[in-house]
Amino acid sequence: MGICIRVRRLRTSRQQAFWSCTALLLVVAWLSLVAFQPFRSLRRLAAVDQAQNADLGLAGPNPAVTEKKKISQPNGNSHIRNDVHPSEEKESTTWRAGGGTLATQRHVLASSTTTYVAPTTRQSRMPTCKYPSPHLQGEKRPHYSKEPPPEGLLIQTLRDLLPGGCWKPQHCSAVNGSIAILIPAHNRRSQLLQLLSYLIPLLQRQQQDFCIFVGNQSESSAMKRFNKGAVVDALFEEAMKRRNWTCVCIHDVDVIPENDHNAYSCPGTRVRNLMSGLSKWSYGLAYPFVFGGCTVTMSEHFRRHNGLTSILWGWGSEDDDHRRRLGWAGLEWERSGKLIGNYFHANHEPAVTNPARFGLVPHAEEYWQKYGLSSLHYSVSRSEVKHLYSAFEFQLPQQDLPQQDLPRPRRQRKQTL
């Protein structure tokens, strides 16, 4: 009997030892998997990186494949091509051949012209930003003051801007490409600073890829009245010299957006007017087809309808002419929704009007293809790349309608008694 009890106890101890060793081995195996998992992830990422570099043609023994191409000048100097992204100014990052390492190149900017460097390979592989942006705040009515905010304070507040009022999201690419903000402003510095203090943060919250261009008319121009259409056309040409913008926005200097859900981006095949209400009209419109304030359009569409008219000297009717050009060019337009398209109007002294506009606009269909971008003549009398924007002052020659294009006077009907 005692022998049987001893045998059972021995069997029990052996079973316990077996299961204890098995559990210990399982714990050791699990710990080894957890410990070596980061090294496996790094090896996997390195393999994917090498494969992507091979697809991009960046792997190989010839490192000259990824070098920046320079254009030689007659005087022996060279410069970097200026048809690239402005936000990579002064410094660019490029992939070296073999191994996918990064090399940084710095370029000295000329004092007379601004040099822009091409977007990096890493940026082209960025994910698209979320739409709508998670940083939107909704309606925010501006606290307008006759005294503009100090420009130094704005520069300090918006110090993340690049020269020329350029900005882009750092961790993603803009949903609808790049946009150039064109602001015609004739002696309106106070309204300009008020607008930029609201517009730039709004564009940043929307995660737009943008630069701001401000145009003024030289006082020595042939006509003293402001030619908004010609200034906008000249701004467009100067902006396109610096980058092939996807979209352009024509923004009046005296209107401030109140809702950041109103997207400053092109809707595609249509032109969009972003203003559905203005504060001076009790957040309505003066008439249903108002087309001023703020308009976004594709760059190719702007060329298609020949820009804005260049024959209206003085305030009035240039926006109506712009709207009618869209129809003649076969383009459609739309307006932002009522809840998000409200703008605040900054009061100012009335501009000098054009008394001849009522005789020219009804006949605009006869000359819209002749006068605009196709007939634009200007010279840049002054340009400056500031922190908040790029400023241009244009010298515009007087441009009158030829005699055959002048509207015929309407015959007056005899009044019958």
Look at residue 368 in the predicted model and tell me its pLDDT. Answer: 87
With beta carbons less than 8 A apart as the criterion, state whether 312 and 360 touch: yes
| Rounded CA separation 96/100 (Å) | 6
The Cα-based distances of 153 to 150, 197, 308 in angstroms read 5, 10, 35
**Rounded distance between C-alpha atoms, residue 67 and residue 11, angstroms:** 76
Amino acid at 307: G
Radius of gyration (C-alpha) of the chain in whole angstroms: 31
Extract long-range pairs of 38-41: CB within 8 Å, 24+ residues apart: none
Question: Which of these ranges, 145-154, 218-227, 239-248, 316-325, has the smallest mean pLDDT?
Answer: 218-227
Kindly report, residue by residue over 385-413, the tens digit of the pLDDT: 999 999 999 998 876 554 444 454 444 44
In angstroms, rounded to a whole number, what is the distance separating the alpha carbons of residues 325 and 364? 8
71 beta partners: 79
Q: H helices then E strands: how many in the chain?
A: 8, 15
Buried b (16+ CB within 10 A) or exposed e, 296-308: bbbbebbbbbbbb
Confidence check: pLDDT of 200 > 90: yes
Can the peptide bond before residue 132 be classed as cis, meaning omega within 30 degrees of 0?
Answer: yes
251 contacts: CB under 8 Å, gap ≥ 6: 181, 182, 183, 195, 199, 293, 294
Q: Residue 256 carries which side chain, given as an amino acid letter? A: I
Confidence of residue 312 (pLDDT cuts 50, 70, 90): confident
pLDDT at residue 416 in the model? 40
Distances (CA, A) of 150 to 33, 167, 185, 369: 60, 21, 18, 43
At residue 199, the 3 state secondary structure works out as helix
Condensed to tens digits (0 to 9), the pLDDT of residues 18-56 reads: 778 788 888 877 777 656 555 554 455 455 445 444 444
What letter would DSSP give residue 268?
A: S
Distance CA 367, CA 137 (A): 44
Which of 273, 289, 249 minimizes the C-alpha distance to 341? Answer: 273
Tell me the percentage of the chain whose pLDDT exceeds 90: 43
Interacting residues of 1 by C-beta distance below 8 A, sequence separation 6+: none
What whole-number distance in Å separates Cα of residue 91 and Cα of residue 49?
A: 23
Beta-carbon contacts of residue 401 (< 8 Å; ≥ 6 apart): 311, 360, 367, 371
The most confident of the ranges 79-83, 101-105, 146-150, 258-262 is 258-262
Q: pTM for the complete prediction?
A: 0.67
